Amino acid sequence: MEQKLISDFSAQLKEIAKDLSFLGHPRYPLKELNQLFPQHKTFIGELEDVSVPFNVNVDEKRRAIERFLKELSRSEVSPTMKEIFTQRIEDYNHLLAMLENFDNIFFYEHCTKLYGTSHELAQNNAFLYLLEKIPDYCQPDESQESLKGEEAMSYLKKKLVETFDPADFEVKASTSLLSDSSAGRKTIKLNPFKTYTTGHLDIFLVHEGWVHLGTSLNGAAQKEHPWLSTWAPRTTFLQEGLAIIIELITAKMTTERWNKVVLRHLATSMAERGSNITDVYSYLRHHGLSDLDSFKLALRVFRGVPLEGGMAFTKELLYLHGMIELLYHLHFYNVDLRSLWIGKISFEEHIMLINQKESIKPKIKYFPSALDAPEVQARLQKLKELSFSLFNHGFL
């Protein structure tokens, strides 16, 4: 009986989550951007204006949420599953509030409830020390070959086929990416006009492919717990932290890449503390990013908030926050990486699943075999011990 209820609630949850990934397709005040950054007019032309409404009926979503919670409260679903479903609904409520308040302070307030802020960590010496130690796990990108367009996509697909059935995914071109690559449920996207080194593409393989695509495909393959295929903002914390860790322990993380990850954090912190988008853009250029990459990262940081500063889209903090929290989490709970590949899960959900491992046993369709290599496990162990020693009472 419970299994049927879990499937039914999972289907409702998926329907509620539908179209709420609007943060991946943000709107911007294009007139203002063109005035501030006339040199990037071509890229700005690829963006949507903030005046274009999102295709989401907020009132209808809220009615669906209300029905869902009423049915859930009366159901015979276990307390664990009720808690998981309720937490995800809470996330979707925040997203709806952000949708209604796009480009103002209330967007930022709800954003911080989902993703936190940089404020509490600015003076954390343990956090700063860890950032200084991570370059020991990095190396310069010494790739001899550069690829673009079809060649780059072909290279990445060939690597992905070593782990995934080619019928289960595709590699596509996209000209409007704010990042160098992105992953959807069954798709990895690359910019067809950008030249990538094979080192860049190997990073995408483990970050977008093994982690984001892999957990999506595994979640979609779950029969008894289909909710594992459904995204919620709380899963992003673990997902991005996991992706950065995998880059590090597989020796794919380059010095250049690490610098960009840190710059994402610093740019977000600057915006929260009052820097406007032109200040952030200048800062990124000064620290070695190209003009266009600086502009794209500034846009990521100012997603959904005014360009004048004082606010930011704080999801960009989760790469570093998630990395440290997950290293601590893996050490404290003494669990392996494989348990994180069952689908889209949050830290809280992972703990619940650990405690319910006798009754909830999700299957894993795909797991990168390279992660079982002794040298990879040794790097992971060193990072876990470092994180635990620095944050022995928890990171956040």
Q: Crossing angle of helices 79-100/105-115, nearest 10°?
A: 160
Q: Is the pLDDT of residue 325 over 80?
A: yes
pLDDT tens digits, 252-269: 999 999 999 999 999 999
Q: Name the band, by pLDDT with cuts 50, 70 and 90, for residue 213.
A: very high
pLDDT at residue 389, as a whole number: 87
Q: Please report the pLDDT score of residue 174 as a whole number.
A: 83
Beta bridge partners of 172: 189
pLDDT band at 396 (very low <50, low <70, confident <90, very high): low
pLDDT at residue number 194:
86
Q: Are 368 and 348 in contact (CB under 8 A)?
A: no
Per-residue pLDDT for 121 more than 90? no
pLDDT in tens, 155-167: 999 999 999 999 9
The whole-number pLDDT of residue 318 equals 94
For the cut 60, the answer to whether the pLDDT of residue 225 exceeds it is yes
pLDDT higher than 60, residue 285: yes
Question: Is the pLDDT score of 380 beyond 80?
Answer: yes
Q: Is the dihedral of CA 75, 79, 364, 242 positive or negative?
A: positive
Q: Which two tokens stand for residue 388?
A: 């635990």
Residue predicted with more confidence, 2 or 358: 2
Q: Indicate the pairing of strand 27-28 with strand 48-49.
A: parallel
Number of residues assigned to the chain: 396
222-245 burial, b at 16+ Cβ within 10 Å, e below that, comes to: beebbbbbbbbbbbbbbbbbbbbb
Do the Cβ atoms of 153 and 171 come closer than 8 Å?
Answer: yes
**What is the pLDDT at residue 193?**
86
Contact assessment for residue 213 and residue 341, using Cβ atoms and an 8 Å cutoff? no
